Amino acid sequence: MTTMTPAGQSESAPTSKLKKGITGPLLFLFILGDVLGAGIYALMGALSAEVGGALWAPLILALLLALLTAGSYAELVTKYPRAGGAAVFAERAFKKPIISFLVGFSMLAAGVVSAAGLSLAFAGDYLATFLDVPPIPAAIVFLALVACLNARGISESMKSNFVMTVIELSGLVIVIVVVAIMLGNGGGDVSRIGQFPAGSVPAAATLSAAIIAYYSFVGFETSANVAEEIKNPSKVYPMALFGSLATAGVVYILVGLASSIALPADELSESSGPLLAVVAASGVGVPEWIFSLIALVAVANGALLTMIMSSRLTYGMAEHGLLPSVLGKVLPKRKTPWAAIVATTLVAMALTLIGDVSTLAETVVLLLLFVFISTNVAVLVLRKDKVEHKHFTVWTFVPVLGVLSCVLLLTQQDAQVWLFGLLLLAAGVVLHFIARAVRKSRDS
């Protein structure tokens, strides 16, 4: 991978209405916090059911698959540092408004539904450890607070993310440290890290588990939607993107090794809180309430980052005529997209009333894979498009392999998820034509 500047062209990037308040370290922590998320606290149990104690194998494979699509994002974000992310890339590459709209719609569905699910998770058992309140009203209040922080400013949101990511990461570090202490005291069983389930084919088991592990790396794509607010994106973005994914991968692998050493695979797979079980098995006296608090922070961080992405994506699509122009309004002093923040927050609040978003969440993953395919193809299509500033360039075979990896993961989705995904896409098509009709009516 290289960084290139077209001969004779300047390095100046396009101007923006949004404030450039994201530095390299803040961007690194933004992506790291979104990738780590809350899922890792339950991930090891699901993985151990597939690969036994060899938890490291699917995590490494999933990291490699995620890096393929990340390479495409690195090129396109530095080439076109505009809010809107994958939808903007699709618009430039395919010149078809319907495709651009559906890519953006898929990302919006993923973001808003994820935020609704995270708010319900925040207001559920985690919050009940400290405060007994009805979950749905608590989720709505939580989303309102997230919206206020989002509207206050990108720098404030990023600084909050800094604190929450450090806390979130500390929980995983605790797991690694207590198992290291356990090993030092003569406990644990290192031999388990190479044990696959009896009768399984290691390669097939690793692939099957990698599909689960891949989901734990999803989240890096949200960073494309704050590209317009990054200082010096051509230099900063690739370093932050690959650095955060590599860091998350190392942490995941160490947590996987620690989990295998501390507990047999069957105990891990049967636990709804596998990392809590790992800490308890270590014999090191860490109070359980600490993990409840860390999980709350992890969920809150995920919701904040997801709503930042959703609002910036909505703003970017409005700026490009894919959504009503009113959604592109910005606070004059704060320079944040207030209309988009209000709209996405209201939709997320409405989704919390459903109470059960598990099927929808699985469908969102399906839609994200379509977004990734679009982005990988867009890299190749836009190679002929030259820009007047320095940008990152990925090797050509990387987006090709990225498409193939997404297709491979799509084949693992069941029929029910496919059906629901197609229904959502159909709804997106209807919304697109309604929005286009309204614009034509206003122009006439």
| 295, 41 contact by CB (below 8 A) | yes
| Residue-wise pLDDT tens digits, 3-18 | 444 433 333 445 556 6
Read off the CATH number of the domain in which 316 is found. 1.20.1740.10
Region 202-220: mean pLDDT is 84
Q: Write the DSSP string, 290-359.
A: HHHHHHHHHHHHHHHHHHHHHHHHHHHHHHTTSS-GGGG---TTT---HHHHHHHHHHHHHHHTT---HH
Q: Is the pLDDT of residue 360 over 60?
A: no
Q: What is the tens place of the pLDDT at every residue in 69-113?
A: 999 999 999 998 876 678 788 988 998 888 888 888 888 888 888
pTM across the whole model? 0.78
The helix (H) or strand (E) run that includes residue 437 is helix 415-443
Across 215-224, 262-271, 387-396, least confident range: 215-224
Does residue 414 form part of some domain? no
Mean pLDDT of 234-247: 92
Averaged confidence pLDDT in the chain: 83
Of 116-120, 156-160, 201-205, 320-324, the least confident: 156-160
Highest mean pLDDT among 20-29, 205-214, 314-323, 366-375: 366-375
Joined together, the tokens standing for residue 285 give: 């006296």
Residue 380 above 80 pLDDT? Answer: yes
End-to-end Cα spacing for the chain? 48
Task: Please state, in angstroms and rounded to a whole number, the distance separating the CA atoms of residues 93 and 183.
Answer: 53
**Residue 213 lies inside a defined structural domain of this protein:** yes
Neighbours of 155 (CB within 10 A): 16
State mean pLDDT over 271-297.
81
What was the pLDDT predicted at 39?
64
Q: What is the mean pLDDT of residues 239-255?
A: 94
> Does residue 73 belong to any structural domain of this protein?
yes
pLDDT at 293: 85
For residue 187, being part of any structural domain is answered with: yes
- 49-58, 116-125, 336-345, range with the lowest pLDDT: 116-125
Domain containing 254: what range?
A: 24-86+110-227+235-365
Residue 91 domain-assigned? Answer: no
In a domain, 12, yes or no: no
Mean pLDDT of 218-231: 80
Q: Is there a domain that residue 217 lies in?
A: yes
Domain count, the chain: 1
55 within some domain: yes
